[in-house]
Amino acid sequence: MQQEQRDKVYRFDQSPTAQAERLRKEARGGTPAGIKRDQLLRGALQFENEARVKRWLASQDLKPPT
């Protein structure tokens, strides 16, 4: 099995919202319908959910355990 070429640079210091938008843009930008596009859109949804959870946790004034 041949490994997929990694030509994109992924930044982990971006906000989850920015990462979701990047994945959606990549999916819309010429990725043909199929498994790869579905994976990109699923990843975008996961980042959006992460952002929602982080906002909710911040609104609850929850502190990490000490």
Task: Return the pLDDT at 7.
Answer: 56
pLDDT of res. 19: 92
Q: Please report the pLDDT score of residue 37 as a whole number.
A: 94
**How many helices, marked H, and strands, marked E, lie in the chain?**
2, 0
* Residue 11 structure tokens: 């930044």
At 12-65, the pLDDT tens digits run: 667 889 999 999 999 999 889 999 999 999 999 999 999 998 888 888 877 767
Locate the domains of the chain by residue range.
22-59
Residue 11 pLDDT > 70, yes or no?
no
The pLDDT, as a whole number, for residue 25 is 94
